[in-house]
Structure 1
Amino acid sequence: MKRIRISAVVILSSALLFSSCASFNKTQKGGAIGAVGGGAMGAIIGKVAGNTGLGAIIGAAVGGATGAVIGHKMDKQAAEIAKTVPDAKVERVGEGIVVEFSSNVLFGFDSSNLSADAKVNLDKLVKILNVYPDTDIEVQGHTDSKGSQSYNQSLSENRAGEVSGYLFNNGISNNRIRTKGFGENMPKYDNNTENGRSQNRRVEFLITANEKMKTESEKEVVK
Protein backbone atom coordinates (compact mmCIF):
# COMPACT_ATOMS: atom_id res chain seq x y z
CA MET A 1 0.00 0.00 0.00
CA LYS A 2 2.84 2.36 0.86
CA ARG A 3 4.44 1.79 -2.55
CA ILE A 4 1.14 2.50 -4.27
CA ARG A 5 0.80 5.79 -2.39
CA ILE A 6 4.36 6.83 -3.26
CA SER A 7 3.81 6.00 -6.92
CA ALA A 8 0.56 7.92 -6.94
CA VAL A 9 2.24 10.99 -5.46
CA VAL A 10 5.09 10.82 -7.98
CA ILE A 11 2.76 10.44 -10.93
CA LEU A 12 0.49 13.22 -9.73
CA SER A 13 3.44 15.52 -9.06
CA SER A 14 4.85 14.79 -12.51
CA ALA A 15 1.49 15.43 -14.13
CA LEU A 16 1.12 18.75 -12.34
CA LEU A 17 4.66 19.72 -13.24
CA PHE A 18 4.32 19.03 -16.93
CA SER A 19 0.81 20.47 -17.19
CA SER A 20 1.98 23.67 -15.50
CA CYS A 21 4.79 23.87 -18.06
CA ALA A 22 2.50 23.31 -21.02
CA SER A 23 2.63 26.94 -22.14
CA PHE A 24 6.41 27.21 -21.67
CA ASN A 25 8.96 26.96 -24.43
CA LYS A 26 11.70 24.29 -24.19
CA THR A 27 14.13 26.68 -22.50
CA GLN A 28 11.63 27.65 -19.81
CA LYS A 29 10.71 24.01 -19.25
CA GLY A 30 14.38 23.31 -18.57
CA GLY A 31 14.37 25.78 -15.72
CA ALA A 32 11.06 24.64 -14.27
CA ILE A 33 11.75 20.93 -14.43
CA GLY A 34 15.20 21.26 -12.93
CA ALA A 35 13.90 23.41 -10.10
CA VAL A 36 11.74 20.59 -8.76
CA GLY A 37 13.48 17.58 -10.26
CA GLY A 38 16.82 16.39 -8.99
CA GLY A 39 18.48 13.01 -9.33
CA ALA A 40 16.03 11.01 -7.24
CA MET A 41 12.93 12.49 -8.85
CA GLY A 42 14.45 12.10 -12.30
CA ALA A 43 15.13 8.42 -11.76
CA ILE A 44 11.60 7.83 -10.47
CA ILE A 45 9.95 9.74 -13.29
CA GLY A 46 12.08 7.94 -15.87
CA LYS A 47 11.08 4.58 -14.42
CA VAL A 48 7.39 5.42 -14.23
CA ALA A 49 7.37 6.87 -17.74
CA GLY A 50 9.43 4.03 -19.20
CA ASN A 51 11.72 6.68 -20.61
CA THR A 52 15.34 6.52 -19.45
CA GLY A 53 16.23 9.65 -21.40
CA LEU A 54 13.61 11.70 -19.61
CA GLY A 55 14.69 10.39 -16.21
CA ALA A 56 18.41 10.90 -16.75
CA ILE A 57 18.01 14.43 -18.09
CA ILE A 58 15.70 15.50 -15.28
CA GLY A 59 18.14 13.96 -12.82
CA ALA A 60 20.99 16.04 -14.24
CA ALA A 61 19.02 19.28 -14.30
CA VAL A 62 20.16 22.43 -12.51
CA GLY A 63 16.88 24.28 -12.69
CA GLY A 64 15.94 27.89 -12.14
CA ALA A 65 17.45 30.72 -14.15
CA THR A 66 20.67 28.75 -14.73
CA GLY A 67 18.64 25.88 -16.16
CA ALA A 68 16.90 28.29 -18.50
CA VAL A 69 20.26 29.51 -19.83
CA ILE A 70 21.37 25.92 -20.36
CA GLY A 71 18.08 25.21 -22.11
CA HIS A 72 18.69 28.07 -24.53
CA LYS A 73 22.12 26.64 -25.39
CA MET A 74 20.58 23.21 -25.90
CA ASP A 75 17.93 24.68 -28.21
CA LYS A 76 20.65 25.82 -30.57
CA GLN A 77 22.55 22.54 -30.46
CA ALA A 78 19.41 20.46 -31.00
CA ALA A 79 18.47 22.53 -34.03
CA GLU A 80 21.91 21.98 -35.55
CA ILE A 81 21.77 18.22 -34.93
CA ALA A 82 18.29 17.97 -36.48
CA LYS A 83 19.48 19.85 -39.56
CA THR A 84 22.78 17.99 -39.93
CA VAL A 85 21.64 14.44 -39.08
CA PRO A 86 18.26 13.94 -40.78
CA ASP A 87 18.21 10.18 -40.08
CA ALA A 88 18.06 10.82 -36.31
CA LYS A 89 15.07 11.73 -34.20
CA VAL A 90 16.01 14.79 -32.11
CA GLU A 91 14.01 15.81 -29.06
CA ARG A 92 14.60 18.61 -26.58
CA VAL A 93 13.83 17.44 -23.04
CA GLY A 94 14.23 19.80 -20.08
CA GLU A 95 17.85 20.93 -20.02
CA GLY A 96 19.06 18.25 -22.41
CA ILE A 97 18.70 16.60 -25.80
CA VAL A 98 17.74 13.06 -26.76
CA VAL A 99 19.04 11.89 -30.14
CA GLU A 100 17.50 8.60 -31.19
CA PHE A 101 18.72 6.30 -33.97
CA SER A 102 16.77 3.26 -35.00
CA SER A 103 19.12 0.28 -34.83
CA ASN A 104 18.53 -0.49 -38.50
CA VAL A 105 20.18 2.85 -39.28
CA LEU A 106 23.31 1.82 -37.39
CA PHE A 107 23.51 -1.98 -37.49
CA GLY A 108 22.70 -5.00 -39.58
CA PHE A 109 20.09 -7.45 -38.29
CA ASP A 110 21.14 -9.07 -35.00
CA SER A 111 24.56 -7.45 -35.28
CA SER A 112 26.59 -5.03 -33.16
CA ASN A 113 28.97 -4.08 -35.99
CA LEU A 114 28.47 -0.57 -37.32
CA SER A 115 27.44 -0.41 -40.95
CA ALA A 116 28.99 1.96 -43.49
CA ASP A 117 25.83 4.10 -43.42
CA ALA A 118 26.06 4.19 -39.62
CA LYS A 119 29.51 5.70 -39.75
CA VAL A 120 28.29 8.39 -42.15
CA ASN A 121 25.50 9.32 -39.72
CA LEU A 122 27.75 9.19 -36.66
CA ASP A 123 30.37 11.33 -38.40
CA LYS A 124 27.70 14.01 -38.85
CA LEU A 125 26.75 13.80 -35.18
CA VAL A 126 30.39 13.84 -34.03
CA LYS A 127 30.93 17.07 -35.96
CA ILE A 128 28.21 18.81 -33.93
CA LEU A 129 29.29 17.24 -30.63
CA ASN A 130 32.80 18.60 -31.16
CA VAL A 131 31.43 22.09 -31.74
CA TYR A 132 29.77 21.88 -28.31
CA PRO A 133 32.45 20.28 -26.08
CA ASP A 134 30.87 21.32 -22.76
CA THR A 135 28.34 18.50 -22.72
CA ASP A 136 28.22 14.96 -21.41
CA ILE A 137 26.92 12.14 -23.58
CA GLU A 138 25.25 8.98 -22.37
CA VAL A 139 24.92 6.31 -25.07
CA GLN A 140 22.06 3.89 -24.40
CA GLY A 141 21.36 0.64 -26.19
CA HIS A 142 17.82 -0.80 -26.32
CA THR A 143 16.21 -3.84 -27.93
CA ASP A 144 12.75 -5.21 -28.53
CA SER A 145 11.32 -8.08 -26.47
CA LYS A 146 12.02 -10.89 -28.91
CA GLY A 147 14.63 -13.42 -27.80
CA SER A 148 15.86 -14.09 -24.29
CA GLN A 149 16.29 -11.28 -21.82
CA SER A 150 19.96 -12.11 -21.26
CA TYR A 151 20.70 -12.10 -25.00
CA ASN A 152 18.92 -8.78 -25.49
CA GLN A 153 20.81 -7.27 -22.57
CA SER A 154 24.13 -8.34 -24.04
CA LEU A 155 23.20 -7.08 -27.52
CA SER A 156 22.16 -3.69 -26.17
CA GLU A 157 25.41 -3.34 -24.24
CA ASN A 158 27.50 -4.36 -27.24
CA ARG A 159 25.75 -1.91 -29.53
CA ALA A 160 26.05 0.96 -27.08
CA GLY A 161 29.71 0.09 -26.56
CA GLU A 162 30.37 -0.02 -30.29
CA VAL A 163 28.85 3.43 -30.75
CA SER A 164 30.72 4.86 -27.75
CA GLY A 165 33.99 3.47 -29.08
CA TYR A 166 33.35 5.09 -32.45
CA LEU A 167 32.74 8.46 -30.80
CA PHE A 168 35.97 8.15 -28.81
CA ASN A 169 37.98 7.09 -31.86
CA ASN A 170 36.72 10.14 -33.71
CA GLY A 171 37.70 12.82 -31.25
CA ILE A 172 35.09 12.79 -28.48
CA SER A 173 36.81 12.79 -25.09
CA ASN A 174 36.26 9.62 -23.11
CA ASN A 175 35.47 11.78 -20.08
CA ARG A 176 32.32 12.94 -21.82
CA ILE A 177 30.95 9.49 -22.60
CA ARG A 178 28.92 7.06 -20.50
CA THR A 179 27.57 3.80 -21.87
CA LYS A 180 24.53 1.81 -20.76
CA GLY A 181 22.60 -1.15 -22.13
CA PHE A 182 18.97 -1.64 -21.10
CA GLY A 183 18.09 -4.66 -23.21
CA GLU A 184 14.32 -4.99 -23.53
CA ASN A 185 13.57 -3.37 -20.17
CA MET A 186 12.75 0.18 -21.29
CA PRO A 187 10.52 0.05 -24.38
CA LYS A 188 9.24 3.38 -25.67
CA TYR A 189 7.01 1.78 -28.27
CA ASP A 190 4.56 -1.12 -28.47
CA ASN A 191 6.34 -4.47 -28.50
CA ASN A 192 3.13 -6.17 -29.64
CA THR A 193 3.49 -4.80 -33.17
CA GLU A 194 6.30 -5.21 -35.69
CA ASN A 195 6.52 -1.45 -36.15
CA GLY A 196 6.77 -0.94 -32.40
CA ARG A 197 9.42 -3.62 -32.01
CA SER A 198 11.41 -2.06 -34.84
CA GLN A 199 11.39 1.31 -33.07
CA ASN A 200 12.37 -0.24 -29.75
CA ARG A 201 15.55 -1.53 -31.39
CA ARG A 202 17.33 1.78 -30.96
CA VAL A 203 20.37 3.64 -29.68
CA GLU A 204 19.84 6.90 -27.83
CA PHE A 205 22.26 9.71 -27.06
CA LEU A 206 21.42 11.74 -23.96
CA ILE A 207 23.20 15.09 -24.13
CA THR A 208 23.40 17.12 -20.93
CA ALA A 209 25.43 20.05 -19.61
CA ASN A 210 28.77 19.23 -18.00
CA GLU A 211 30.07 21.07 -14.95
CA LYS A 212 31.81 23.71 -17.05
CA MET A 213 28.63 24.64 -18.90
CA LYS A 214 26.70 24.73 -15.62
CA THR A 215 29.26 27.05 -14.04
CA GLU A 216 29.42 29.36 -17.05
CA SER A 217 25.62 29.44 -17.31
CA GLU A 218 25.38 30.39 -13.65
CA LYS A 219 27.82 33.26 -14.24
CA GLU A 220 25.67 34.47 -17.13
CA VAL A 221 22.69 34.65 -14.80
CA VAL A 222 24.66 36.71 -12.27
CA LYS A 223 25.62 39.19 -14.98
Structure 2
Amino acid sequence: MKKSTIIALVSILTLGNIFTGCEAVKNTNNTQRGAAIGAVGGAILGGVLGNNIGKGGNGALGAVLGGVVGGVAGGVIGNKMDKQARQIETALPGAQVERVGEGIKLVLGENAVRFDTNKSTLTAGAKANLDKLIPVFNQYPDTNIQIYGYTDSTGSAEYNLNLSNQRAASVKAYLVGKGLASSRFNTTGLGIADPIATNDTPEGRSQNRRVEFAITANEKMVQDAQKEAGK
Protein backbone atom coordinates (compact mmCIF):
# COMPACT_ATOMS: atom_id res chain seq x y z
CA MET A 1 0.00 0.00 0.00
CA LYS A 2 1.36 3.42 -0.90
CA LYS A 3 2.46 5.76 1.87
CA SER A 4 -0.05 8.42 0.81
CA THR A 5 -2.83 5.85 1.01
CA ILE A 6 -1.80 4.80 4.52
CA ILE A 7 -1.79 8.42 5.65
CA ALA A 8 -5.22 8.98 4.11
CA LEU A 9 -6.66 5.88 5.77
CA VAL A 10 -5.24 6.89 9.14
CA SER A 11 -6.78 10.33 8.70
CA ILE A 12 -10.18 8.83 7.96
CA LEU A 13 -10.02 6.46 10.92
CA THR A 14 -8.90 9.29 13.21
CA LEU A 15 -11.77 11.48 12.08
CA GLY A 16 -14.19 8.58 12.51
CA ASN A 17 -12.95 7.98 16.06
CA ILE A 18 -13.17 11.64 17.00
CA PHE A 19 -16.79 12.01 15.92
CA THR A 20 -18.25 8.56 16.55
CA GLY A 21 -15.87 6.45 18.65
CA CYS A 22 -14.35 3.12 17.61
CA GLU A 23 -17.17 0.92 18.89
CA ALA A 24 -19.83 3.15 17.39
CA VAL A 25 -18.19 2.98 13.96
CA LYS A 26 -18.14 -0.82 14.13
CA ASN A 27 -21.87 -0.86 14.81
CA THR A 28 -22.88 1.38 11.90
CA ASN A 29 -23.70 0.38 8.35
CA ASN A 30 -21.94 1.63 5.20
CA THR A 31 -24.41 4.44 4.68
CA GLN A 32 -24.09 5.74 8.22
CA ARG A 33 -20.30 5.62 8.12
CA GLY A 34 -20.34 7.42 4.79
CA ALA A 35 -22.49 10.20 6.20
CA ALA A 36 -20.45 10.65 9.37
CA ILE A 37 -16.97 10.41 7.93
CA GLY A 38 -17.88 11.95 4.58
CA ALA A 39 -18.79 15.21 6.26
CA VAL A 40 -15.15 15.79 7.19
CA GLY A 41 -13.14 13.29 5.18
CA GLY A 42 -14.96 12.93 1.87
CA ALA A 43 -12.15 14.32 -0.23
CA ILE A 44 -9.60 12.00 1.39
CA LEU A 45 -11.86 8.98 1.02
CA GLY A 46 -12.48 9.78 -2.63
CA GLY A 47 -8.76 9.87 -3.28
CA VAL A 48 -8.21 6.50 -1.63
CA LEU A 49 -11.04 4.89 -3.56
CA GLY A 50 -9.89 6.40 -6.80
CA ASN A 51 -6.36 5.09 -6.38
CA ASN A 52 -7.09 1.62 -5.03
CA ILE A 53 -10.35 0.31 -6.50
CA GLY A 54 -10.45 -3.35 -7.48
CA LYS A 55 -7.71 -5.91 -8.06
CA GLY A 56 -6.48 -4.16 -11.16
CA GLY A 57 -6.17 -0.74 -9.54
CA ASN A 58 -8.49 0.57 -12.25
CA GLY A 59 -7.60 4.24 -12.47
CA ALA A 60 -10.29 5.21 -14.98
CA LEU A 61 -13.17 3.58 -13.16
CA GLY A 62 -11.73 4.57 -9.79
CA ALA A 63 -11.63 8.22 -10.81
CA VAL A 64 -15.35 8.10 -11.60
CA LEU A 65 -16.32 6.30 -8.38
CA GLY A 66 -13.86 8.21 -6.20
CA GLY A 67 -15.85 11.42 -6.19
CA VAL A 68 -17.62 11.89 -2.85
CA VAL A 69 -20.47 14.26 -1.98
CA GLY A 70 -20.08 13.40 1.69
CA GLY A 71 -22.07 14.46 4.71
CA VAL A 72 -25.73 13.63 5.19
CA ALA A 73 -26.38 14.03 1.45
CA GLY A 74 -23.72 11.44 0.75
CA GLY A 75 -25.46 9.11 3.18
CA VAL A 76 -28.77 9.55 1.35
CA ILE A 77 -27.09 8.69 -1.96
CA GLY A 78 -25.28 5.77 -0.36
CA ASN A 79 -28.55 4.34 0.91
CA LYS A 80 -30.02 4.40 -2.60
CA MET A 81 -26.91 2.79 -4.02
CA ASP A 82 -27.03 0.09 -1.34
CA LYS A 83 -30.54 -0.81 -2.46
CA GLN A 84 -29.64 -0.75 -6.14
CA ALA A 85 -26.58 -2.95 -5.57
CA ARG A 86 -28.69 -5.54 -3.75
CA GLN A 87 -31.22 -5.54 -6.57
CA ILE A 88 -28.49 -6.04 -9.17
CA GLU A 89 -27.10 -8.99 -7.21
CA THR A 90 -30.57 -10.53 -7.06
CA ALA A 91 -31.31 -9.90 -10.74
CA LEU A 92 -27.96 -11.19 -12.01
CA PRO A 93 -26.23 -13.50 -9.48
CA GLY A 94 -23.25 -14.05 -11.80
CA ALA A 95 -22.27 -10.39 -11.72
CA GLN A 96 -19.60 -8.96 -9.42
CA VAL A 97 -21.21 -6.07 -7.57
CA GLU A 98 -19.15 -3.81 -5.32
CA ARG A 99 -20.29 -0.71 -3.49
CA VAL A 100 -17.54 1.87 -3.80
CA GLY A 101 -17.90 5.24 -2.10
CA GLU A 102 -21.26 6.61 -3.23
CA GLY A 103 -21.40 4.50 -6.39
CA ILE A 104 -21.44 0.94 -7.66
CA LYS A 105 -18.79 -1.02 -9.50
CA LEU A 106 -20.38 -3.74 -11.64
CA VAL A 107 -18.19 -6.30 -13.41
CA LEU A 108 -19.73 -8.48 -16.13
CA GLY A 109 -17.34 -11.24 -17.07
CA GLU A 110 -17.68 -13.70 -19.93
CA ASN A 111 -20.10 -15.74 -17.85
CA ALA A 112 -22.50 -12.77 -18.00
CA VAL A 113 -21.68 -10.86 -21.19
CA ARG A 114 -20.06 -12.78 -24.02
CA PHE A 115 -19.20 -11.60 -27.51
CA ASP A 116 -18.60 -13.54 -30.66
CA THR A 117 -14.86 -14.18 -31.12
CA ASN A 118 -13.03 -11.09 -32.40
CA LYS A 119 -16.34 -9.29 -32.80
CA SER A 120 -18.39 -6.77 -30.89
CA THR A 121 -21.64 -8.65 -31.46
CA LEU A 122 -23.46 -9.58 -28.26
CA THR A 123 -24.43 -13.23 -27.95
CA ALA A 124 -28.00 -14.25 -27.17
CA GLY A 125 -26.91 -15.13 -23.62
CA ALA A 126 -25.35 -11.70 -23.14
CA LYS A 127 -28.55 -10.00 -24.26
CA ALA A 128 -30.59 -12.14 -21.88
CA ASN A 129 -28.37 -11.12 -18.96
CA LEU A 130 -28.47 -7.44 -19.87
CA ASP A 131 -32.27 -7.74 -20.01
CA LYS A 132 -32.19 -8.70 -16.32
CA LEU A 133 -30.45 -5.42 -15.45
CA ILE A 134 -32.83 -3.16 -17.37
CA PRO A 135 -35.65 -3.16 -14.75
CA VAL A 136 -33.15 -2.18 -12.06
CA PHE A 137 -31.66 0.61 -14.18
CA ASN A 138 -35.18 1.83 -14.95
CA GLN A 139 -35.97 1.98 -11.24
CA TYR A 140 -33.03 4.35 -10.67
CA PRO A 141 -33.24 6.84 -13.55
CA ASP A 142 -31.16 9.46 -11.71
CA THR A 143 -27.90 7.58 -12.15
CA ASN A 144 -25.15 7.85 -14.74
CA ILE A 145 -23.59 4.68 -16.11
CA GLN A 146 -20.04 4.65 -17.47
CA ILE A 147 -19.30 1.48 -19.46
CA TYR A 148 -15.73 0.21 -19.84
CA GLY A 149 -14.74 -2.52 -22.28
CA TYR A 150 -11.68 -4.73 -21.73
CA THR A 151 -9.85 -7.50 -23.57
CA ASP A 152 -7.09 -9.95 -22.77
CA SER A 153 -3.57 -9.39 -24.11
CA THR A 154 -3.89 -11.66 -27.15
CA GLY A 155 -3.19 -9.66 -30.31
CA SER A 156 -1.91 -6.12 -30.71
CA ALA A 157 -2.74 -3.42 -28.19
CA GLU A 158 -4.19 -1.21 -30.92
CA TYR A 159 -6.50 -3.95 -32.17
CA ASN A 160 -7.70 -4.74 -28.66
CA LEU A 161 -8.30 -1.07 -27.89
CA ASN A 162 -10.55 -0.71 -30.92
CA LEU A 163 -12.35 -3.97 -30.11
CA SER A 164 -12.96 -2.93 -26.52
CA ASN A 165 -14.38 0.41 -27.68
CA GLN A 166 -16.75 -1.39 -30.03
CA ARG A 167 -17.87 -3.83 -27.36
CA ALA A 168 -18.59 -1.11 -24.80
CA ALA A 169 -20.55 0.74 -27.48
CA SER A 170 -22.50 -2.45 -28.27
CA VAL A 171 -23.58 -2.78 -24.64
CA LYS A 172 -24.73 0.83 -24.58
CA ALA A 173 -26.57 0.49 -27.89
CA TYR A 174 -28.41 -2.58 -26.64
CA LEU A 175 -29.49 -0.94 -23.39
CA VAL A 176 -30.57 2.25 -25.16
CA GLY A 177 -32.46 0.14 -27.70
CA LYS A 178 -34.41 -1.31 -24.77
CA GLY A 179 -35.58 2.14 -23.72
CA LEU A 180 -32.91 3.48 -21.36
CA ALA A 181 -31.94 7.11 -21.95
CA SER A 182 -28.81 7.49 -24.06
CA SER A 183 -27.77 10.53 -22.02
CA ARG A 184 -27.16 8.30 -18.99
CA PHE A 185 -24.33 6.42 -20.69
CA ASN A 186 -20.73 7.04 -21.62
CA THR A 187 -18.46 4.36 -23.05
CA THR A 188 -14.72 3.83 -22.99
CA GLY A 189 -12.60 1.04 -24.41
CA LEU A 190 -9.47 0.29 -22.41
CA GLY A 191 -8.25 -2.77 -24.29
CA ILE A 192 -5.59 -4.73 -22.44
CA ALA A 193 -5.27 -2.17 -19.61
CA ASP A 194 -6.06 -2.96 -15.96
CA PRO A 195 -6.05 -6.78 -16.07
CA ILE A 196 -7.76 -8.37 -13.08
CA ALA A 197 -6.06 -11.74 -13.62
CA THR A 198 -2.98 -13.14 -15.32
CA ASN A 199 -2.94 -13.23 -19.12
CA ASP A 200 -0.68 -16.31 -18.99
CA THR A 201 -3.53 -18.81 -18.63
CA PRO A 202 -6.82 -19.37 -20.51
CA GLU A 203 -8.74 -18.86 -17.25
CA GLY A 204 -7.02 -15.56 -16.55
CA ARG A 205 -7.55 -14.29 -20.08
CA SER A 206 -11.24 -15.17 -19.79
CA GLN A 207 -11.52 -13.03 -16.65
CA ASN A 208 -9.85 -10.09 -18.37
CA ARG A 209 -12.34 -10.17 -21.25
CA ARG A 210 -15.03 -8.23 -19.45
CA VAL A 211 -17.28 -5.19 -19.29
CA GLU A 212 -17.36 -2.96 -16.21
CA PHE A 213 -19.95 -0.38 -15.19
CA ALA A 214 -19.41 2.59 -12.89
CA ILE A 215 -22.83 3.66 -11.62
CA THR A 216 -22.94 7.09 -10.01
CA ALA A 217 -25.47 9.71 -8.96
CA ASN A 218 -26.37 12.28 -11.59
CA GLU A 219 -26.80 15.96 -10.77
CA LYS A 220 -30.50 15.55 -10.03
CA MET A 221 -29.89 12.79 -7.49
CA VAL A 222 -27.21 14.90 -5.82
CA GLN A 223 -29.48 17.94 -5.63
CA ASP A 224 -32.40 15.86 -4.31
CA ALA A 225 -30.12 14.31 -1.68
CA GLN A 226 -28.89 17.74 -0.60
CA LYS A 227 -32.49 18.95 -0.26
CA GLU A 228 -33.42 15.87 1.77
CA ALA A 229 -30.36 16.35 3.95
CA GLY A 230 -31.34 19.95 4.62
CA LYS A 231 -34.76 19.09 6.00
Tell me the TM-score normalised to structure 1 length: 0.84
Contact 1:153/1:183 (CA < 8 Å) preserved in 2?
Answer: yes
Give the secondary-structure state (helix, strand or coil) at the position aligned to 1:182: strand
Kindly provide the amino acid, as one letter, of the partner of residue 126 in structure 1.
Answer: I
Checking the alignment, whether the CA contact within 8 Å between 1:71 and 1:96 is kept in structure 2 is yes
Q: 2:219 matched to 1:219?
A: no
Q: What TM-score, normalized by structure 2, do the two folds share?
A: 0.81
For residues 83-98 of structure 1, what are the structure 2 equivalents within 5 Å?
A: 83-98=90-105
Q: Does 1:27 align with 2:31?
A: yes
Q: Which moved more, 1:75-84 or 1:33-42?
A: 33-42
Cα deviation for residue 190 of structure 1 reads: 2.6
Correspondence list, 1:54-93, <5 A: 54-59=62-67, 61-93=68-100
Q: Tell me the secondary structure at the aligned position of residue 105 of structure 1.
A: coil
Alignment deviations for residues 163-192 of structure 1 (CA, whole Å, 9 cap, x no partner): 011111111111111111111111222333
Gaps of 5+ in 1: 1-6
- Distance, in Å, in 1 between the alignment partners of 2:206 and 2:8 is 29
Q: 1:99-136: CA deviations, max 9, x gaps?
A: 11113532133221001111111111111101110100
Taking the aligned partners of 1:158 and 1:144, their CA distance within structure 2 comes to 15
SS in 1 for 2:104: strand
Does the CA-based 8 Å contact 2:144-2:216 persist in structure 1? Answer: yes
Matching of residue 206 in structure 1 with residue 214 in structure 2: yes
- Does the 8 Å contact 1:105/1:117 carry over to 2? yes
How far off is 1:94 after superposition?
Answer: 0.9
* 1:122-141 superposed matches below 5 A: 122-141=130-149
Question: CA 1:56/1:29 → structure 2, altered by over 3 Å: closer, same or farther?
Answer: farther
The one-letter code matched in structure 2 to 1:101 is L
Rounded to whole Å, the distance in 2 between the matches of 1:92 and 1:108 is 30
Larger-Rg structure: 2
Structure 2 gap ranges (5+): 17-24
Identity of aligned residues (%): 44
Task: Say which is worse superposed, 203-212 or 143-152, in terms of deviation.
Answer: 143-152
Change (3 A) 1:128 1:8: closer
Over the residues paired in the alignment, what is the CA RMSD in angstroms? 2.8
Which residues of 2 match residues 52-201 of structure 1 at below 5 A?
Answer: 52-59=60-67, 61-103=68-110, 105-106=112-113, 107-201=115-209
Moved more, 185-194 or 26-35: 26-35
